[in-house]
Amino acid sequence: MLDASVIIAHLDATDALHDRATALLLGVDSEDLGASPLSLAEVLVGPTRAGRLDRAVAALDQLEVTSVNLDRDAPTRLAVLRAGSSLKLPDCCVLLAAQQVHGAIATFDEALAAAARRGGLDVRDP
């Protein structure tokens, strides 16, 4: 499960984390890449403001990043995750999506990575 920070860094060659993000994505090219709908929306905000939404969507399609739809009980599960942690709701969405698909998380956010490990999820080190 990709956190928005990894995708944003990969798509922006001027981002300080671009090389790390690109190396991470190349290292998991045999795995399915997914992101929560909220993470994907976060990724698309900057390109939308810059008038490059179509290019960003095309880049996501080229990477074959899929949107992981959250289950029907997502509001309740997200509330529990949010109330029981110091994480923001977008990070809770990453955790929940990873839990649903039993997938690993790729993030540059140490708090999110720590929460994922505490919850028994694998974290891909970028």
CATH label of the domain that carries residue 9: 3.40.50
Tally of structural domains, the chain: 1
**Which range, of 27-36, 87-96, 104-113, averages the lowest pLDDT?**
27-36
Quick one: pLDDT at residue 64? 93
Contact 99, 119 (CB under 8 A): yes
Question: Which structural domain range is residue 29 located in?
Answer: 4-124
Q: Where does the pLDDT of residue 30 fall: very low under 50, low under 70, confident under 90, or very high at 90 and above?
A: confident
pLDDT at 77 over 90: yes
How many CB atoms are located within 10 Å of the residue 123 CB?
18
Instruction: Tell me what the mean pLDDT of segment 47-65 comes to.
Output: 96
Percent of the chain with pLDDT strictly greater than 90: 90
Confidence of residue 31 (pLDDT cuts 50, 70, 90): confident
Q: What's the confidence (pLDDT) of residue 126?
A: 61
Q: Distances from the Cα of 90 to the Cαs of 26, 63, 107, 122, in angstroms?
A: 24, 21, 12, 18
